[in-house]
Structure formats: C-alpha cells, structure tokens
A and B are shown apart, each in its own frame.
Chain A
Amino acid sequence: MESRSILETIQMIDEENLDIRTVTMGISLFDCIDSDGAKARRKIYDKITRSAQDLVKVAEQIQTEYGVPIINKRIAVTPIALIAAASGDADYVAYAQTMERAAEALGVDLIGGFSALVQKGYQSGDRKLIASIPQALAETSRVCSSVNIGSTKAGINLDAVGELGHIVKQTAAIDPVNCMSLVVFANAVEDNPFMAGAFHGVGEADRVINVGISGPGVVKRALEQVRGQSIDVVSEQIKKTAFKVTRMGQFVGTIAAQRLGVPFGIVDLSLAPTPNEGDSVAEILEEIGLDSVGAPGTTAALALLNDAVKKGGVMACEHVGGLSGAFIPVSEDAEMIRAVRAGRLGLEKLEAMTAVCSVGLDMIAIPGDTSAASISGMIADEAAIGMINNKTTAVRVIPAPGKTVGDEVEFGGLFGRAPVMPVNPSQPTALIARGGHIPAPIHSFKN
C-alpha cells in the first residue's frame, strides 16, 4: 500500500477539483435512416435508449466504487442532417425533440449531434437542419447543435458563414441562453466528448465510449510548487501532472466501456475549467507568471500549457482524441470572468489565444445589437485560424438582446456567467455578402 500515492490522489480529487467531466457515448444513427420521418424518429429513439440504457447507472457505479466524480453523462449521435435527409420533412425540429425525449428517458445531461457538415457545400438535409436550429434549441434543453463550416482540406464555406451569423442572432432572439448549445466549427473532430460540439463522426464504430477529463486545479497546484524556477521546469511539471490527470480518464473510460460492452474510443486531454474557484485555466496562466490573463505574454503561456498538456497526456492513454488542449470558455472560468470585468481581457486577445489552444471564441457574451455580419466575421476569422493552422477552432458567442457592455448573462451551473464584451464596431458586411467559398490553403495538398 503506497500511502503517499493514495493521499496525493485523494487530494487531487477532493481539494483540486479533479474529476471526469464527461463520459460520452457515441451512437451511430445510420441504421435509423428512413424515407418516412416519423418512422426514422421512432428508430432513433429506440436505438439511443437501447444503446445507452445503462450509461447513467454504470457511471454512478464507477463514481461510488472509485470515488471519482463523473460530472456529466452525455450522448453524441451521427449528424442529424445526414440522417434526416432521406425524409421529406420540411424542418427537423421534430428530430431534436426526439433526441430530447431519449436523453430525458435515460437521465443523461446533454445530447449532441443536431449537426451539419457543410465545409465543402450543402447537401439537401443541411439547409433544413441549419434553418431548424433556433426553433430546435428553443424547444429542447439538452440538445446541442454544431455546424462545421470549414476545414484545412476543404477551405471555408462563406455562404454558410453568412447564414450562421443570422442563425446565431435568431437563436439569441428567442433566448440568449440557447446560444450556449450552438457551436460553429472549423476542422470539427468526430470523436469529441465535449459539448456543445460533440457528434458521432461518420467514420466511427456503431457505438463507442469517449471520455473528457477536467483538472485545471491540479495543474495550478502543481505549478505553485515551482514558483520562480525556469520555464523548462514549468513545462516538465505540467507534463507530469497532465499524465496523472489523463491516467484517470483512461482508467474510468476502460472500466465504463467494459461494463457497457462498448468499445473504448478516446480520452480527450483537454483541461476543462468550471466556474468554481480553483478550477480555472486562467489561474494556471497567471501562476506561470502573468498578473492577469490578457497581459502581453498570455498567448505564449497558453501555448506552453497546451503543448505540455498534450505531451504529458499522450503517454497516459491508449488513444487520444477529441479536442485535447486547454479550453478557454470565458463564462466557465472564474478568473477569465474577473479579467473581462476588469477590462484586462478583450475579444482580440482571446482570438490570438485561440491560435495556440483548443478551441475558439467560447462562451462569450456580446452586445445584443451586434450585427449578423459581425458574428459571421468572427466565425470567418476563427475558421481561417483553424484552416491555416491545421487545428480545430470554433465560435460560441451569445449576442444578448437588450444588453450592452458591462451587463452580464447568467447560464447557471457548469456554464457560469458571462460579462458582455465590446465588439469592434467596423463591419465586414460586403465581405460576408460576397458568399462563395474560400479555397483550401496550399498546404492542404499533401498527396
């Protein structure tokens, strides 16, 4: 019995908020396609509820037996735009309602996959799905939606970028809180266990278990022990800590997959913050040596953190996937919120940060009168960063109707609260109105 290891593990869980953020079951819906929409939805409900009937029970067993908190149980399904396309339905809101009913019956927290992949162009189901998003999110509470509008291989679909600016505005007009369930991606990954962007990729197995860890508090505490030492030591310390954190993800995922009789997919190494004190990515950056996140040097500190987390985590698990980096969702990180309120962190710095970490402009409230073109411009900028740097980027912004800089939007629970941030008033209207397709970059031609 190794007392020190045992106590250290208990301390990581109890005092430093180490937990499993999510155990996500991916479920393929290809065998539910039907030309009759009602029939398809019945098959979808049956397949989801049958496949994941023990998901919550098994996660709770693991939590009891091993003392590891599992915060969320989630489901990701094949993008609905692909599944619903064969039906003649005029809109796809009913599919979101079916997903919601299945999630509710199972007791899972969130269900992702009300999604479309339009990086190269639209198939018939994509337009209907995208147009259904505002209503679908208004009529459900657990359904998450995502749209992939660009990739390194395909370039950027500027028509979709333009359309999604309006969709985000329409979603917010019904209730700004619904925007937290909608994310616009470039280079979306197919095995991401985190929401709102999780969907079950077309190349995935019929069912799979993916795990997302948390644990910024553990990294912060470890770095407190190396204050004043060289940045090389910081990097080493993060690697060692990330190893242990990720090991727990691997361990929990393996057991969950075994007990559910489903193959184990990947561990997502991302450091996911929560609004709880001591569970913040921004605090890690400040511990590395910034007096506030947003200071010059923030991007460098984040680049080091992101890379060291990957290096430590990769060795700790069999298969790494998902987004795997550091998350910087503003509303979900107490120290980020503080920095924004104090005027020390703005959209432009956040954009720079997204060039070196996963994922993008995430959980950011902006004034309600921000134009659809401005939102499209943000999406285009993030997609360009992702396309050129071969990485996933995303936009999840919340234009809060009637609110302006200084006000706040409350999301509740894990999603926190977001101070409304100023947006550059200049407009990209003519650029977005051009439409068309930004070609894939030269370095995508590797064959």
Chain B
Amino acid sequence: MRAIITVIGQDHVGIIAEVATTLAQKHINIVDVSQTIMDQNFTMMLLGEWDEQVLSFTAVKQALETLGQQKQLTIRMQRESLFDAIQKV
C-alpha cells in the first residue's frame, strides 16, 4: 500500500521528527518526501509505503490524525492514485 501523507500547520521545531517517528514505529517506509514553507505554513508531503496485510489503512490514518491533534497539525492521508486521476490527462 502506498499513500500520500500531507502535513500542514504552524511551523515549529521537530515536526519532521515527530511525523517520521510515528511512521517508523508503524514500520512505514518513506519513499519520497518534500517540504517547504508556504504562506508561513509548514507544508510537507510524504509518500509512505507499508504492507497492508500487517497494518490497515484506517489504523495508519487514525495514528496520524491523533498525532496531528496533539501537535496542532493537519495531517491527511490519501491513496496516491487520486491525484494522478484528477491532475493528469
């Protein structure tokens, strides 16, 4: 299973570490990553990969949403194919 994880929120020290730690604990491999500051907002996108037999999509999504609430970040996770379908001919 591959999914795009987007993290948006007020910039503060350690966001990347927090997100990466949560993913590592769940044995989710980060395949690609990009990060920038847009309109003073921390904006990061990650492509995560894991074995769906071991861990369900919903479980990962919930873990990330919980982290987002704790750290006041908006964290979304969506399957990758949506973006290609909408943006490419």
Contacts and interface: CB of A to CB of B under 8 A. Distances in A.
Contact of B79 (A10, A66, A247): A66
Given A3-B45, A10-B6, A244 B82 contact: no
Contacts of B76: 10, 67
Main DSSP-derived SS at the A contact region: helix
Interface of B: 4, 6, 32, 34, 36, 38, 43, 45, 47, 57-58, 61, 76-79, 81-83, 85-87, 89
A1 interface: yes
A63 B61 CA distance: 12
The secondary-structure label for the interface of chain B is strand
A258 to B, nearest CB: 12
A251 B85 CA distance: 6
Nearest to B33: A1
A9 B87 CA distance: 8
A12 B34 CA distance: 20
Contacts of B78: 65-67
A64 B86 contact: no
A232 interface: no
A239 B83 CA distance: 19
A258 B43 CA distance: 34
A28 interface: no
23 contacts: A1-B45, A1-B47, A2-B83, A2-B87, A3-B34, A3-B36, A6-B4, A6-B6, A7-B6, A7-B43, A7-B45, A9-B83, A9-B86, A9-B87, A10-B6, A12-B86, A66-B78, A67-B77, A67-B78, A247-B85, A247-B86, A247-B87, A250-B85
Contacts of A7: 6, 38, 43, 45
Contacts of A247: 85-87
B45 A6 contact: yes
Given A1-B45, A251-B85, 5 more contacts: A3-B34, A3-B45, A6-B45, A66-B78, A251-B86
A247 B84 CA distance: 10
Given A9-B82, A64-B61, A244 B34 contact: no
